Structure 1
Amino acid sequence: MDFVSVARSLRRCRRFRASNCGKSIHSHLVKSGILRDVFFANNLMAMYIDSGFLDEAHQLFGEMPERNVVSWTTLISAYSHVGRPSEALRLFTWMLELKLEMPNSFTLSAALKACALAKNIEVGKSIHRHICGAQLQYDTVLMNSLLDMYVKCGSLCNAQDVFDSIPLPNLTSWNTLIAGYCSKGLMEEAVNLFQQIPEPDLISWNTVIVGYAHMESQEAVELMCMMHRAGVKFDHFTFPCVLKTCGFLRFITMGEQIHCYLIKSSIEFNQFIGSALIDMYSKCSQVSKAMKLFYEYLGYEEFIHDKMVLWNSIISGCASNKYNSATLALVSRFHSSGMLLNSYIFGSILKVCINLLNLRCGTQVHGLIITCGYHLDSVVGSILTELYAKCGSIEDALQLFWRLPEKDVVAWTGLISGCAQQGSNLLAFSLFREMVYLNVGVDQFVISSVLKACSSLAGLEGGKQVHAYCVKSGYESETIIDTSLIDMYSKCGEIDDGLAVFKHMDVRDAICWTGIIVGCGRNGRAKEAIEFFQAMLEKGVKPNEITFLGVLSACRHAGLVGEAFGIFRSMSVDHGLVPRLEHYCCMVDLLSQAGCFEEAERLIFDMPYEPDETIWGSLLGACVSHNDVELGKRVAELLISKSPDDASVYVTLSNVYASLGMWDCSTKLREVIRKVCLKEAGRSWIEVKS
């Protein structure tokens, strides 16, 4: 038999993955007895592995009368390569126990890859000891595998020690350790390493950019500019990362510049760049541009087999921007084109149902999710839980939640925020305590939701416990949490604690300034509210409509008519904001309480909105305080004609009559209320000493 021809035939079977031909050769080798030769057996095993028949390769391995280190290494590498690290490590352990063949550097590298996949640091450390005992630490490729194992297992101290022990680290060594620091958010250490590389390559730059992009930091954009100035050419991996950062930070100008660069340069578009551009425009609220790009990319022939990622991006972008009709239209077109619905599409449809608080539509989508087999998907399950909770079906939300195979922080946050939104505040707080007890990774969003629940309960003790947890866990510096703490303390009547939180904040955006202004106004400290408003303007922070509503409410509580008028005028004159109905309502209430009825009526008739019951109700309520029966009757009649079933109108007018001693009129109105059964008994409660 021509051994050379057999070897050549096996190589061709491996190259073209011709498993049937390989099986024929296998039969021939068994009959001829040549398979006893370890060289041919190894080649046949490699043929099965390359053709995707790993179980057959393992069976052949077990039948081999003789095995060498290549045999063991080939099968261990195969199991690591296909993501079956347990089998790879079992084989490696068996090899060591038999002591027939000593593992070489290739075997050890394959075993280290399996340790990294399985996060098995103990076996990895034993391999590390073996490397040191065998004096293999001068093999840079092997040491890079060891370094990668420690990085993947999250042990950066050991990874740094390995890196320091490599006599001549190459670019792979540097990039692996940098990637490790980036994955843990330790960007200072990562950049320090990056700056020490003699000649960083494209992968080095991209690794640091990815690290900053995951932290959603503008440093990713700045590093890309440095990369361009250094003459390093971008690749398809660079742009999606930077565009992601532009989207999160709403750097629309920079995003558009990158888009122009892509058009002018010779870089070939792919579906990932296209998806990143669509996502960037969507996050910057430029949905029309995102849609235009999407329909343009649909016509690209090179995207014909990879359009799923584009569909995911545009549908998700429309849903996030609450373009509910557009989202549903896109999903309908997607489904009618014959493409299969996936977890991303279902997630977007459910977000539309949440936006619309449409439980009926949500339950129909839930049925479709079960039909398509996605009911056990953790992402879809988390959004379903949030849907039921925010639509008020708390029992269904809890049942879904406890059935989830994996309850991650997203699922907990959706359930807790839904409970808080629906007023099930005690349940929200109880769930948060259980989440902490189970050691689930709490984030700033779930803490913000539970603080909202404490605010609604006026539960100071619970709020202080959450605050203590934030300090202990290092979340106190998060702006979203500080703002929620200020809101909680102000609603619980402890504005001084809220002021203390505000004064210790490193970064203050418009939301936290608004929070402290509203809090001061709510607690009767109008002067401080106005002072904070002025300080906000001096710091160059742009106020929004809610900020103005907060400071005007503070003026209303203190009866500061002159100050309120000045702030109200500046809203449109100095800041280009159009006063909404709530701002007019606040001003009317202020003027009415001050007895300026003519000015209040003039403002009502001059405003560009149709006055609603709230505005007329404010005017009517002030008539009681100032005993203005004529105006009170006129306003009450107008309100009764608009809302004949509103008991508060009858009660307020009755109080006007009573305050003027017109008891007959007051009694008649009370009789009307009793006959029609308009007024229900009210109730309220507060927390006292927990």
Structure 2
Amino acid sequence: MELRSLVGTLRQCGRARSVRHGKSFHCHFVKLGLSSDVYYANNLMSMYVESNSLEDAYHLFEQMPVRNLVTWSTIISAYAGAAEPDIAIRMYNLMLESEDESPNGFVYSAVLKACSLSENGSQHALECIRIMHREGFKLDEFTFPCALKSCGSLGSVALGRQVHGYVEKSGFGSSCFSATALVDMYSDCIQLDDATRVFYEYLAQGVSIHESLVLYNSMLSGYVLGGRDKAALEMLSKIHSSGVCMDSYTFSSGLKASFNSLNLRVGLQVHGLATTSGYGLDYVIGSIVIDLYANHGKIGNALRLFHLLPTKDMVAWSGLIVGSAKAGLYSLSYSLFRDMISLGEDVDEFIITSTVKVCSSLVSIRSGKQVHAFCVKNGYLSDGVVATYSIDTGANRVNMSIIGTHISIL
């Protein structure tokens, strides 16, 4: 078989995700002494990527004596597309260190996508944007939303305004996609006047709520984030009156505004609409409602919904734990904390602090010792608030020698 035909067949294996047949061609290339040739190695790596066999692709990548731009762009985009953003960013940094090739627009797009997915990718994204600008690469409709998201995550409104100007000059400013990304960025930077201006400038084009619900959701979220809960509830009412089918993002923002404004009646109405729309057991919506119920002392209602939710996040757990304590149900609050730990759920300083306070109201000395031991074991005593409450709890108990106690917990 001619080498050109071999490569064509190899590409068919990738499209068919037939990694077993692809590996047989890999062995054939090795026998022919072609596996170290960058052209054939790149095609092999592409086959592994298309076959969802990233481990084989990376193993081949490590063995390649020569790498070119196609090699790097293939491996970086593969990890970005496979929701492995931190690895993609690491590969990009390796590319810069290797000096084999300079990144091109395709590589930068893949890196920005990875940065938008990574919890710690915002700073990398901004640096990538600066390099793109210096090298003369233009942001497009796929890269500038990543740039705006990074600006928002870091609160870098100055750079966000620069990207906004670039978006307008490039002709992308008139789309709902662009307006939504800009509203999100300005909202994250707590620049609600700018977010509102972008929002209404887009609506001035005559678009309906049905055509722009995603933009309305972003503005709703911005109002809630900026503490303008009355404006958020007014917008929610407008969306509802339009007859558009609201989604989980609309309902969750409406519920957060109800919670922040301590308006249980409106919150229950929003939850009722969410339930009739099929979102009643959505874990985000359910968690906010549980928090709302618990905050108003309706622990029974909160518990019933809590047990109905198929998935429970930290908001649901903390809402019940804190709400039970606020209602004087200290034993229930502590029991929920124990359940949370035994199920392997993550806890934060807020939950720990609330539980330590609960222990000071319980008769059992053992519970205080156990929570303190948990704090020691997991490093929470470095948090000043937790440490303070631990000391207060100890002071409220006769002979309660918590400090320095190390026992097996829960």
Scaled to the shorter chain, the TM-score interval is 0.7 to 0.9
Contact 1:181 1:189 in 2 (8 A): no
Q: 2:45 aligns with which of 143, 167, 170?
A: 143
Alignment partner, residue 434 of structure 1: 339
CA distance in 2, matches of 1:129, 1:438: 42
1:200 is matched by which residue type in structure 2? Answer: P
Alignment partner, residue 356 of structure 1: 261
Unpaired stretches in structure 2, ≥5 consecutive residues: 1-8, 361-366, 403-410
Corresponding position: 1:215 with 2:119: yes
CA distance in 1, matches of 2:14, 2:338: 44
Q: 2:164 aligns with which of 259, 263, 266?
A: 259
Cα shift readout 1:611-641 (whole Å, capped 9, x = no counterpart): xxxxxxxxxxxxxxxxxxxxxxxxxxxxxxx
Contact 2:196 2:219 in 1 (8 A): yes
Alignment partner, residue 92 of structure 2: 191
Unpaired stretches in structure 1, ≥5 consecutive residues: 1-103, 114-123, 472-480, 496-522, 524-683
Contact 2:220 2:232 in 1 (8 A): yes
Cα shift readout 1:637-673 (whole Å, capped 9, x = no counterpart): xxxxxxxxxxxxxxxxxxxxxxxxxxxxxxxxxxxxx
> Displacement of 1:144 after TM fit?
1.9
Contact 1:297 1:303 in 2 (8 A): no
Q: 2:294 aligns with which of 389, 405, 420?
A: 389
Alignment partner, residue 14 of structure 2: 109
From the superposition, tell whether residues 362 and 127 of structure 1 become closer, same or farther in structure 2 (CA, over 3 Å).
Answer: farther
Alignment partner, residue 470 of structure 1: 378
2:115 is matched by which residue type in structure 1? Answer: Y
Alignment partner, residue 447 of structure 1: 348
From the superposition, tell whether residues 349 and 267 of structure 1 become closer, same or farther in structure 2 (CA, over 3 Å).
Answer: closer
Q: 1:377 aligns with which of 275, 282, 293?
A: 282
TM-score by length of 2: 0.76
1:375 is matched by which residue type in structure 2? Answer: G
CA distance in 1, matches of 2:397, 2:262: 28
Residues 239-638 of structure 1 aligned to structure 2 (within 5 Å): 239-300=144-205, 306-409=211-314, 411-412=316-317, 414-416=319-321, 418-419=323-324, 427-440=332-345, 442=346, 446-456=347-357, 457-458=359-360, 461-468=369-376, 470=378, 485-493=383-391
From the superposition, tell whether residues 202 and 413 of structure 1 become closer, same or farther in structure 2 (CA, over 3 Å).
Answer: farther
From the superposition, tell whether residues 130 and 469 of structure 1 become closer, same or farther in structure 2 (CA, over 3 Å).
Answer: farther
CA distance in 2, matches of 1:251, 1:274: 18
Q: 2:130 aligns with which of 225, 228, 233?
A: 225
From the superposition, tell whether residues 329 and 141 of structure 1 become closer, same or farther in structure 2 (CA, over 3 Å).
Answer: farther
Contact 2:76 2:92 in 1 (8 A): no
Q: SS at the partner of 1:492?
A: helix
Contact 2:233 2:254 in 1 (8 A): yes
> Displacement of 1:414 after TM fit?
4.9
CA distance in 2, matches of 1:328, 1:355: 11
From the superposition, tell whether residues 462 and 245 of structure 1 become closer, same or farther in structure 2 (CA, over 3 Å).
Answer: farther
Contact 1:382 1:410 in 2 (8 A): yes
> Displacement of 1:202 after TM fit?
2.0
Contact 1:179 1:208 in 2 (8 A): yes
Alignment partner, residue 639 of structure 1: none
From the superposition, tell whether residues 319 and 686 of structure 1 become closer, same or farther in structure 2 (CA, over 3 Å).
Answer: farther
TM-score by length of 1: 0.47
Contact 1:182 1:208 in 2 (8 A): no
2:230 is matched by which residue type in structure 1? Answer: S
> Displacement of 1:311 after TM fit?
0.6
> Displacement of 1:268 after TM fit?
4.7
Cα shift readout 1:302-342 (whole Å, capped 9, x = no counterpart): 89874121111001111222211101111122222232111
From the superposition, tell whether residues 297 and 266 of structure 1 become closer, same or farther in structure 2 (CA, over 3 Å).
Answer: closer
Alignment partner, residue 164 of structure 1: 62
> Displacement of 1:355 after TM fit?
0.6
> Displacement of 1:245 after TM fit?
2.3
Contact 2:306 2:316 in 1 (8 A): yes
From the superposition, tell whether residues 460 and 406 of structure 1 become closer, same or farther in structure 2 (CA, over 3 Å).
Answer: closer
> Displacement of 1:402 after TM fit?
2.1
> Percent identity over the alignment?
34
Contact 1:460 1:489 in 2 (8 A): no
2:106 is matched by which residue type in structure 1? Answer: I
Contact 2:372 2:390 in 1 (8 A): no
Rg larger for: 1
Contact 1:271 1:307 in 2 (8 A): yes
1:379 is matched by which residue type in structure 2? Answer: V
From the superposition, tell whether residues 416 and 247 of structure 1 become closer, same or farther in structure 2 (CA, over 3 Å).
Answer: farther
> Displacement of 1:210 after TM fit?
3.4
CA distance in 2, matches of 1:127, 1:337: 55
CA distance in 2, matches of 1:210, 1:420: 43
CA distance in 2, matches of 1:133, 1:418: 63
CA distance in 1, matches of 2:232, 2:373: 41
Contact 1:428 1:453 in 2 (8 A): no
> Displacement of 1:370 after TM fit?
1.6
